[in-house]
Amino acid sequence: MTSNKPVRIIGVPMDLGASRRGTDMGPSALRIAGLGRALRGLGYQVETEQDIPVPAMETRSAASADARFKEEILTVCSDLCDRVRETLDQNDIPLVIGGDHSIAMGTVSGVAGHFRQKEQKIGLIWFDAHGDMNIPGVSPSGNIHGMPLAHLLGRGDEDLASIGGFKGKIDPKNVALVGIRDIDDGERKIIRESGIHAYTMREIDERGMAAVSREIIEVVNDGTAGFHISFDVDGCDPSVIPGSGTLVPGGINFREAHLMLEHCADSGRMVSMEVVELNPFLDHGNVSAERTLQLIMSAFGKSIL
Any idea what the CATH number is for the domain that residue 33 is in? 3.40.800.10
Catalytic residue status for 185: no
Cα–chain center distance at 7: 17
Cα–Cα distance for residue pair 26/28, rounded to 1 Å = 5
Torsion of CA 207, 196, 265, 36, to 10 degrees: -120
The answer to whether 259 and 209 are in contact (CB under 8 A) is yes
Phi and psi torsions of 99, nearest 5°: 90, 155
Identify the active-site residue in 234, 256, 274, 283: 234
Domain span at residue 38?
A: 7-299
21: number of CA atoms within 13 Å, CB side?
Answer: 3
User: Number of structural domains, the chain?
Assistant: 1
14-31 per-position pLDDT tens digit: 999 887 789 999 999 999
Catalytic residue status for 277: yes
Q: Is 304 a member of any domain?
A: no
The answer to whether 108 and 161 are in contact (CB under 8 A) is no
With residues binned 3-state (H G I as helix, E B as strand, rest as coil), the percentages for the chain, rounded to 5, are 45, 15, 40
Identify the active-site residue in 72, 101, 184, 187: 101
pLDDT-derived band at 1, boundaries 50, 70, 90: very low
The answer to whether 10 and 97 are in contact (CB under 8 A) is yes
Q: Is 271 a member of any domain?
A: yes
Catalytic residue status for 151: no
251-270 per-position pLDDT tens digit: 999 999 999 999 999 999 99
Identify the active-site residue in 15, 128, 187, 256: 128
Whether 160 has a pLDDT exceeding 60, the answer reads yes
Q: Is 156 a member of any domain?
A: yes
Interhelix angle for 209-221 vs 254-267, to 10°? 40
Burial 1-24 (b: 16+ CB within 10 A, else e): beeeeebbbbbbbbbbbbeeebbb
> Which ranges of 195-275 would DSSP assign to H, the alpha helix?
201-207, 209-221, 254-267
Catalytic residue status for 79: no
Catalytic residue status for 232: yes
The answer to whether 161 and 155 are in contact (CB under 8 A) is yes
Whether 63 has a pLDDT exceeding 70, the answer reads no
| Residue 304, pLDDT score | 86
Positive or negative, the Cα torsion across 193, 227, 240, 139?
negative
Whether 68 has a pLDDT exceeding 70, the answer reads yes
Q: Is 123 a member of any domain?
A: yes
Q: Is 29 a member of any domain?
A: yes
| Residue 61, pLDDT score | 67
> Which ranges of 42-161 would DSSP assign to H, the alpha helix?
70-89, 104-116, 148-152, 158-161
pLDDT-derived band at 159, boundaries 50, 70, 90: very high
| Residue 7, pLDDT score | 98
114-136 per-position pLDDT tens digit: 999 999 999 999 999 999 999 99
pTM (2 d.p.): 0.96
Q: Is 284 a member of any domain?
A: yes
Identify the active-site residue in 72, 237, 277, 283: 277
Dmax (CA) for the chain in angstroms is 53
Q: Is 27 a member of any domain?
A: yes
What order of strands is seen across the sheet that includes strand 175-180? 50-51, 7-12, 93-98, 270-276, 227-232, 123-127, 175-180, 197-200
Q: Is 140 a member of any domain?
A: yes
Catalytic residue status for 266: no
* Nearest alpha-carbon partner for 152 in 138, 130, 140, 135: 135
Identify the active-site residue in 15, 92, 100, 132: 132
Catalytic residue status for 132: yes
| Residue 2, pLDDT score | 44
CA angle 268, 274, 278 (to 5 degrees): 135
Catalytic residue status for 130: yes
